[in-house]
Amino acid sequence: MARRRRQAHELERVLGANALFATAYGNVGSSIYYALGVTAFFALGLTPVVFVVAGLFFAATAATYAEGTVSFPEAGGSSSFARHAFNELVSFGAAWAQMLNYIITIAISAFFVPHYLSIFWEPLRTNPWDIIVGAGVIVVLVTLNIVGIQESARINVGLAGIDFATQVLLVLLGFVLVFSPHILVKNVHFGTAPTWGHFLLAIPIAMIAYTGIETVSNLSEEARDPVRSIPRSILMVAIAVFAIYFTLPMIALSAMPVKHGVTVLGTRFSADPVLGVVEHLGIGGALLSVLKIYVGLLAATILFIATNAGVIGASRITYAMAGYRQLPGLFRRLHPKFKTPWISLVVFAGFVSILVLLPGKTNFLGTMYSFGAMLSFTIAHASVIQLRRLRAGEDKDVPWRARPNLRWRGVDWPLFAVVGVLGTGLSWLDVVIQYPSTRYAGLGWLALGFVVYVVYRRRILHVPLAETVRAPVEYGLAAALEFRSILVPIAPGYASDEAMDFACRLAAERRASIVAFTAIQVPLDMPLDAELPDDVHEANEQLDEARAIGESYGVRVVGRIARTRNIGRAIVDEAVRRESEIIVMAGPRRVQLQRGRRQIFGDAVDFVLRHAPCRVMVATPRERAA
């Protein structure tokens, strides 16, 4: 068969480190448009210090998510980590906290869209117009997601680049035009403006700035080489975001200093702080008008996309929770026409998000996000610590580990996770203690979730609370062979073209998705994350060809590389992780001899045939079939 290749564009190597970074930064970087004002309301002149402290906690959290996601490259983030480290009950707690994060992300992003569009109509900055328009944004995006219209990844990557460049430009202009160390020092009045209580409360609120770190985890299933790309992308996001939050607050507080215990950054411009920065740079005339329009439109667009990311995230995590029997199967039900999880979209991304939006209080939205995020991050840190303890002595089989670590009693304890669990745990308690409305709303949310979980598990399913139970794959009537998730292992020396052709024909008829999977077998004397450039290059070429075959059929193919000691086991594990309904494999192009007899397929194929969790089809080479 003629070999079909496509041009290897670096940006298309989704999801490598660069693409993961751009996608994640598009979500994380959007938070600057509201986090700056909300944090300044509490922290006042200490806002730059607060963002630095929050950045240290974020660095620890980023390391935790990098290690956890490399170990378990599947959607779910802290919920997935907790499932492997503890049990299903703890996993539900993390997932329910994540659900709150997505709901608040939807509400807070949608709420700030009209504030930046107020450059065209001033009333959009005030109630009830900001609430009405924000709710309208949510309704539109929920409807679009039910229909199945998705955002373009290329547009997101491009906007992330423009957004970062704009933020850097504002920082540079600020340093030239308004930056004043004297004013920054004069802004600080220890213990009074801000009070120590407000200073401590501002730290978890400032973590809103780093919302979206779970984006990398949720995209990890589509990362080609997670061992290499995930840690690099998370490090790149951490550095880029920290650089902006280390500098832009200093510019903002230089331009809008604290006077009489308040700053207009946290009052008048609390809902559109970046526009406040632009307005106070000392630029006048037509240039100021053009810059305000540019920043306003860019911010509104970025926030619109961030809202949509929250809508998608809420529907995905709900669908996943129902798949693990954490929520009723009702939330896995797909729309009969559009094949989207419409009930979860309407209930969580729509109704609950609008309900949270209705009070129109930015401080409440900020503290509620901190409640959910700090709890989710704390569970993630605790899970990585527990996984280190459970895996003590398995150093060679661990794909990648973050640093720094402390070796004690045979365990490499992750110091970053220890610092993280203390920081985020205490920050969560701080929010609960200091903010009554958040305390009652947040704890009420947790109580509601656990009541539903217990009743559903005990009274309806009659299964233990801590046991992992997967929902069965639901097929339509008379559709026993309707496969919606197809795994195609790719390997040199095997008839992979024939397997991909067959899988694409199957997928094209049934609108299925295909995962082209190739495994790099790492020798026992080398660590799993060893530099293997030739093997990685060859694997990427194989996946590029598989993707080209998919394009010729109009089928989307996700490429995936795994590092393993046992290729057959890696294929089986990938099928389990992705809930694949069929594995389409290729037999070797040449018949092998094993112990004096003909071996029909090969070690990897035989292993998969014995251990696969689903149906397996083997495509034999055409020359052998003849």
Q: Are 388 and 412 in contact (CB under 8 A)?
A: yes
How high is the pLDDT of residue 477? 35
Q: 52-75, pLDDT tens digit by residue?
A: 998 888 889 888 988 888 888 776
Contact predicate 342/329, CB 8 Å: no
The pLDDT tens digits for 194-215 are 999 899 989 888 887 776 667 6
Contact call for residues 50 and 39 (beta carbons, < 8 A): yes
**In angstroms, rounded to a whole number, what is the distance separating the alpha carbons of residues 581 and 612?**
10
N residues, the chain: 626
Q: Which residue has the higher pLDDT, 470 or 488?
A: 488
**How high does pLDDT run on average in the chain?**
83
pLDDT at 227: 74
pLDDT in tens, 270-292: 889 999 999 999 888 889 999 99
Tokens representing 15 are 């999801």
Pairing of the two strands 557-564 and 411-414 = unpaired
pLDDT value of position 331? 87
pTM: 0.80
Name all domains of the chain by residue range, CATH numbers in brackets.
Answer: 23-452 (1.20.1740.10), 485-625 (3.40.50.620)
From 391, 385, 426, 423, select the one nearest 405 (Cα to Cα): 385
The CA distances from residue 418 to 66, 242, 296, in Å, are 15, 21, 40
> Number of C-alpha atoms within 13 angstroms, CB side, residue 254?
19
pLDDT in tens, 414-435: 999 999 999 999 999 999 998 8
| 58 strand-pairing partners | none
With a cut of 60, say whether residue 564 has pLDDT above it: yes
Q: Is the pLDDT of residue 566 over 50?
A: yes
Q: What is the pLDDT of residue 570?
A: 86
Check residue 422 and give its pLDDT: 94
Encode 204-234: b = buried (16+ Cβ within 10 Å), e = exposed: bbbbbbbbbbbbbbbbbbbbbbbbbbbbebb
Confidence of residue 602 (pLDDT cuts 50, 70, 90): low
On the question of pLDDT at 565 being above 50, the answer is yes
Q: What is the pLDDT of residue 597?
A: 41
Residue 239 has a pLDDT of: 85
Max mean pLDDT range (16-25, 501-510, 567-576): 567-576
Task: Please give the C-alpha separations between residue 321 and each of 327, 331, 411, 489, 567, in angstroms, as whole numbers.
Answer: 6, 9, 32, 28, 29
Using the predicted structure, report yes or no on whether residue 496 has a pLDDT greater than 80. Answer: no
* 12 pLDDT higher than 50: no
